Amino acid sequence: MKRNGFERPYHVLQILSWILLFCFSGIFYFIMIPQLSGAGVIVTSAFYTVFLISAVVSAYLTTKCDPTDKLVKVQLEGTPVEPSEFICTLCKCFVTLGSKHCARCCRCVYKFDHHCKWVNNCIGKENYNEFLWLLFSCIMLTLCGMVTGNYIWISLVVNGPTDEAKDWLKLNWVSKNFLLAGLLVCSLITTAVFFLLSYLMMFHIYLICKGQTTYEFVLEKRKMKIEPKREVTTTLDTTTDLLRTLSNKIVITENNSFEIREEISERMPRARASTPEFNYENV
């Protein structure tokens, strides 16, 4: 059983998320900020730093949290509990109503939302708020990166590098075109991530308004997909019943109509077709 996201095995996306955060923060502080001048440097740096700390703290809390059902935790510690009608056969424990077993972590999580690969942990009742906090922090970080990045490369194209940027470029031996291409790529990636995260945040706000978890939402969608199929099956059953009734009538009332009876008998199941009333030799 896995207790939290810092326990092995680590997920590749979890490692990638920390690398990306480190790389993009480096690009922001050491490439983007030197292109700015005046109050823009202080305001942008302060904004980014606040949300960078916020993202790191919330990511740590979301990953470190153990969202296992408290009833399961108590039983694993050896404390006897009152028998409940809800039992997880995999955990071999009594569980709280609303718990769901996570196959990846091998434990039951109360108010299970989803298993997040980016933090390598289940998101449930215990760490859902921290997860939303992390999501919000990342949206703010990408917003800052998107606005700053786009502003800088547009300014570089329109006005050319500022005096500060010229010194920086000279100092670091980075050509203007290389800088422009790099900034453009970073801005595009940040913009795409910003819209994806914003969409995810809106989805979670929608779920909160509905009082649902992501897991319950997925279950509801699956159920809705299955139900129209049942309707089609019902329609087909009704058609088959109608056909059977019709074929029975034909056999009874139209004894001379061989062609019609043959067409109908082909559509009938074999068991029914072999009954005396559909056997042509008996007609």
Instruction: Catalog residues that contact Zn ion under the rule CB under 5 A.
Output: 88, 90-91, 101-102, 104-105, 108, 115, 122
Measured from the CB atom, the residue of 59 and 105 that comes closer to Zn ion is 105
Residues whose CB is less than 8 angstroms from the CB of residue 187 and which lie 6 or more positions away in sequence, other chains included: 145, 146, 149, 150, 153
Measured from the CB atom, the residue of 69 and 142 that comes closer to Zn ion is 69
Single out the catalytic residue among 65, 105, 108, 116: 116
CA–CA gap between residue 181 and residue 169 (Å, rounded): 14
186 among known catalytic residues: no
DSSP single-letter state for residue 275: S
Measured from the CB atom, the residue of 110 and 194 that comes closer to Zn ion is 110
Measured from the CB atom, the residue of 124 and 145 that comes closer to Zn ion is 124
CB atoms within 10 A of CB 123: 26
Q: How far is the CB of 272 from Zn ion (least distance, A)?
A: 47
Measured from the CB atom, the residue of 115 and 261 that comes closer to Zn ion is 115
Q: How far is the CB of 201 from Zn ion (least distance, A)?
A: 21
Q: How far is the CB of 131 from Zn ion (least distance, A)?
A: 13
3-state secondary structure of 240: helix
Dmax (CA) of the chain: 104
CA–CA gap between residue 104 and residue 109 (Å, rounded): 12
* E strands, 48-136, in order: 87-88, 93-94, 99-102, 107-110, 114-116, 121-123
How distant is the alpha carbon of residue 221 from its chain centre? 14
CA-based nearest residue to 267, from 245, 234, 283: 245
Q: What is the DSSP string of 7-64?
A: SSSPPHHHHHHHHHHHHHHHHIIIIIGGG--THHHHHHHHHHHHHHHHHHHHHHHHHH
Q: How far is the CB of 106 from Zn ion (least distance, A)?
A: 8
Q: How far is the CB of 89 from Zn ion (least distance, A)?
A: 8
Measured from the CB atom, the residue of 81 and 174 that comes closer to Zn ion is 81
Strands 87-88 and 93-94: antiparallel
Q: How far is the CB of 61 from Zn ion (least distance, A)?
A: 16
For the annotated catalytic residues, the residue numbers are 116
